[in-house]
Structure 1
């Protein structure tokens, strides 16, 4: 790497390094993949609960921008792109847990699939319980089976997407702008769910890099 683009190093006691001083796509991609792989390997090797706790709280403490700086440009079906999506889902719930719980409950009631069981939220779910759920899933991504964490997050996103779709339908006649916002959210959640499903399959084949 060039001298103005240092090798990425994860420092658990600080914040993520701001890595993308260079705009060279190859260097950006290389840094994203290296940080994602190094982070996951180091956390699993150290098994330090304090390090894991700091990772779980990172987006809520520092905001999502530092994580975006690392991984948001990576394709969906890569390790950095996958970790970005996990943090993005977590950040959306922390930002408005009440809305997330409303969407989840509406989606759970409407869906006739096993997604709510896979996601693992209590029934009914409160906003604090939903925050605890996504934090637990993210913890599992770092310390347990990543594929299972991805399966659970994908299922969660499908439940939320269903809830957003049904609430959008309810609001269409009287609150068209809110309906549009909810429809957009549903589409994004569905897209993330699809990406995470693929990522889980790739991880199980040792092909998520």
Structure 2
């Protein structure tokens, strides 16, 4: 794992090729170390990577990676988990609103019905744990399904608020679009992993 001091020693103006190489190397090390370990403490530490190392450190490594790469997929998973952990009430509301519009995605996402904030935090951890202990493609597809449900919920909420708060509705619609794009990116990354092409 790259600690805070080591991350700060990486020059800020790396050439794009060097930055890309660091992103791919660290993502591969994280995933392969987790998959090679049977120690639950190692898996737990990898799931809590952002909490341990800080989102800024992880962002410095993976945030610029393309969505069809391993570091790009990991970045999306960690950002999704961070959102669930920091705002579980909003995520729970969006999930509940979106379930009716995306029932197939609910089955794939694997959440209980109706989920509470703690259930969704556990689901986010379970999806990320699946990256290291299960089939990565399944974990990515579950995360994609989860994002589809949240996107449907955000769109539904935007429609309900449009008459009373047009600006908030517009922000929610934009958020729904971003969640749908993230869902598609995660699902595509899962297909690439299955084909042996996610690096």
Unaligned segments of structure 2, at least 5 residues: none
The answer as to whether partners of 1:20 and 1:28 remain within 8 angstroms in 2 is: no
Calculate the TM-score normalised by the size of structure 1.
Answer: 0.89
CA distance in structure 1 between the partners assigned to 2:156 and 2:101 by the alignment? 8
Task: Point out which structure has higher relative CO (alpha carbons under 8 A, 6+ apart).
Answer: 2
Q: Which moved more, 1:102-111 or 1:43-52?
A: 43-52
- CA apart distance, 1:43: 1.7
CA distance in structure 1 between the partners assigned to 2:132 and 2:6 by the alignment? 19
- CA apart distance, 1:186: 0.6
Calculate the TM-score normalised by the size of structure 2.
Answer: 0.93
Residues 1:163 and 2:149 are matched in the alignment: no
CA distance in structure 2 between the partners assigned to 1:33 and 1:87 by the alignment? 16
Structure with more helix by fraction: 2
Unaligned segments of structure 1, at least 5 residues: 1-9
Q: Which moved more, 1:86-95 or 1:153-162?
A: 86-95
Equivalent residues in 2 for 1:2-81 (5 A)? 10=1, 14=3, 17-18=6-7, 19=10, 21-81=12-72
**Paired residues, number:** 197
Superposition CA RMSD, Å: 1.6
The answer as to whether partners of 2:111 and 2:123 remain within 8 angstroms in 1 is: yes
Q: Secondary structure at the match of 2:100?
A: helix
Aligned mate of 1:91, from 82, 89, 102: 82
**Superposed structure 1 runs of 4+ greater than 3 Å apart:** 14-17, 19-22, 60-63
